Amino acid sequence: SKALALAEITVSTGVALANGIKQAQELGKKLVDIHFDAYISSDLQRSFDTCKWIVGERKASQIVCTQLLRERNWGSFTGRYIPELANLNNPSEWPDDIETLDELKQRAKHFLDWIKSEYPDKVILAVGHGIINKAIQSVFYDKPMNEIAVMKNADIRILQLI
């Protein structure tokens, strides 16, 4: 791949839905002059929706979905109400089935290797979730994840993949 435009998902449910759609559509307008050879999204609905809002309904059928761009696997924390998770801020007390940062970075490397082999010399728009986007940048720049700036909803980062 030549370049990877890594986009952060927007909120696609509840009262923030209208704002999420607007943010994604505004990002699409900013990217209108870039020719993307492929659109890749997490296979989770809110990521696919964000990608569709960025690229437009007309190109939605071209979006390729992958589990590699999914949010962190929270194991037995998945689906739980966050205020109930008293030990959320203490990773040493987390259950063993939560995806570790090393595992996230391995998945990020797998994603980068996959797009380089599947989409050589292409410009890719990829829409993923916060921490996997951070892990991809951590692997790409060979920096610790805590040195990668947080991406806000509908943020974009361009990685030059030569």
Q: Is the pLDDT of residue 60 over 60?
A: yes
Q: Is the pLDDT of residue 69 over 80?
A: yes
Q: What is the per-residue pLDDT across 126-156, written as a single tens digit (0 to 9) for each?
A: 999 888 999 999 999 999 999 999 888 888 8
d(CA 2, CA 11): 29
Closest residue by Cα to residue 73 from 114, 44, 112: 44
CA distances to 11, 44, 90, 115, 157 from 4, rounded to whole Å, are: 22, 20, 34, 9, 8
- What confidence tier does 114 reach under pLDDT thresholds 50, 70, 90? very high
